[in-house]
Amino acid sequence: MDNEPKPEKVPHVIFYRLIKSARFPQRADRSAAGSLPTRAFRYCEAATTAAAFGYYVFPPLNFSLMWDGNDISWTWEGVDEWYPLRSVQYPGFRDEFDSLAPPDIREFSPPLLTALQEPGLVQLWTGIIARTAPDWSLLVRSPANMPHSGQYEPFEGIIESDQWFGPLITNLRLTKTDRPIDFRADYPLVQVQPIPRSVYDESLLNDYVLVPDLAAFRPDEWQLYHETVVRPHLAEHRPRGQYAATVRKRRKAELSQLE
């Protein structure tokens, strides 16, 4: 029995890079790529946990967009002209795709950028395909706790990537007109976070209770409030980062049980 091969471990997420010059996705980090204030990084476990949840995904090249309120133009690094944006391929990618794809898949390379019908909306492909384990999805959102340009807003979306084996895209809403909006290939565009499909099931989300006011607090809830807020405040020597220490201690205990 001991000689039987163990089943191969299936990763929760696989990233496929189709555009060779694109930066690989990378694990998000607790410092939000160094942008969190030092005090928050040291003591705010809530912020650092959110920052580290998931993976950074980047634009596949340096490029710029410009919106005049109606039409969108684009240009990219090394090019001195602006071109009208409708639907464009990554420069040179279509030929490479067609040279490697099976005959019945040729001419179906994903576009890099597409101007959507709604004013100021753009769809961007990251150059990546992502696949998740069964019953897991990817939440695609702005990088957590990182500053980003006030000239555009990424939409949030949930992709059921255990079934969808297509381009990892994001939609952007441009918010400034008549000025270049720059995108850098070395700065995260979105953060993708693996989540079990069950967490956004309607039956789970509809399973909630509303407590109308303080008079409805039960004794055990007042006790929880006391333990969380009052007792640390009254301590003679109040330690910093108590919440962080408690969370880390619980995680360590949970990991030890799994070993």
Q: φ and ψ at 202, to 5 degrees?
A: -60, -40
Q: How far apart are CA 141 and CA 29, in angstroms?
A: 15
Q: What is the pLDDT along the chain (259 residues), one digit of tens a residue?
A: 556 666 567 689 999 999 999 999 999 999 998 999 888 888 888 999 999 999 999 999 999 999 999 999 999 999 999 999 999 999 999 999 999 999 999 999 999 999 999 999 999 999 999 999 999 999 999 999 998 889 999 999 999 999 999 999 999 999 999 999 999 999 999 999 999 999 999 999 999 999 999 999 999 999 999 998 898 888 766 666 566 566 666 666 656 665 5
Q: What is the pTM of this model?
A: 0.86
Q: How far apart are CA 109 and CA 60, in angstroms?
A: 15
Number of C-alpha atoms within 13 angstroms, CB side, residue 72?
24
CB neighbour burial string for 101-125, b if at least 16 within 10 angstroms, e if fewer: eeeeeeeebbbbbbbeeeebbbbbb
Asked: is 13-203 a CATH 2.70.40.10 domain? The reply is yes
Strand runs labelled E in the chain? 13-17, 26-27, 55-57, 63-67, 72-76, 83-84, 87-88, 113-115, 121-132, 136-141, 152-154, 157-159, 167-174, 181-183, 190-196
Q: Where are the domains of the chain?
A: 13-203, 213-258
Q: How far apart are CA 228 and CA 232, in angstroms?
A: 7
- What pLDDT does residue 149 have? 85
Q: How far apart are CA 51 and CA 62, in angstroms?
A: 24
DSSP string across 4-19:
SPPPPPPPSEEEEE-S
Place of tokens 């006790």: 223
